[in-house]
Amino acid sequence: MDKIVSLEQRIHDKRRKEERERYLKRIRSLQRSVQCTACHLRCAMCGVYTQIRNEAEKRFFLSNGFALCENCKKEYEDFKALSGKETPSDVHWHNKEWFRMWSAWIEYRKALRAFLESPEFKRLLEELNQ
């Protein structure tokens, strides 16, 4: 009897292995997407490679938690300056849609940061390391 192989058990084991592989692929995919969006070598808004060249850029990066290229940083500063003000900008593309885009991006960054700090994400990383 010891030499009899249970086909049901083999099928069950194969399904469990396939499910585990799919689960790990999903975790790795999530990990890559989070790593890429949180990468400090790329502009968090447009994705171009950046370099922190001076102390002011480093302070800006550390205080906001994300790196921006020079152009996106200027746009972000314009957005912050225009927030709460009723005066229109001198730049023609700074319209309500532009403002909504930056507002949505800020909310996205907050949500991403909250997700990265969540106990569930930390548990997910522990699972991946095992």
14 Cβ neighbours under 8 A, 6+ residues apart: none
Residues 79, 102 contacting (CB under 8 angstroms): yes
Phi/psi for 49 (5° steps) reads -65, 140
Task: List, as own/partner pairs, every contact residues 56-65 make where C-beta atoms lie below 8 angstroms and the sequence separation is at least 24, other chains included.
Answer: 65/109, 65/113
Report pLDDT digits (tens) over 73-121. Answer: 889 989 988 887 767 778 889 998 999 999 999 999 889 889 888 999 8
Query: CA-to-CA distance for 39 and 49, rounded, in angstroms?
Result: 10
Hey, what are 1's tokens? 């009897």
Query: CA-to-CA distance for 100 and 94, rounded, in angstroms?
Result: 10
Q: What string of DSSP letters covers 20-74?
A: HHHHHHHHHHHHHHHHHHT-TTB-TTT--B----SHHHHHHHHHHTS---HHHHH
Report pLDDT digits (tens) over 20-65. Answer: 899 888 888 888 888 777 777 888 888 888 776 666 666 666 557 7
Torsion of CA 20, 22, 25, 31, to 10 degrees: -80
Say what the pTM is: 0.72
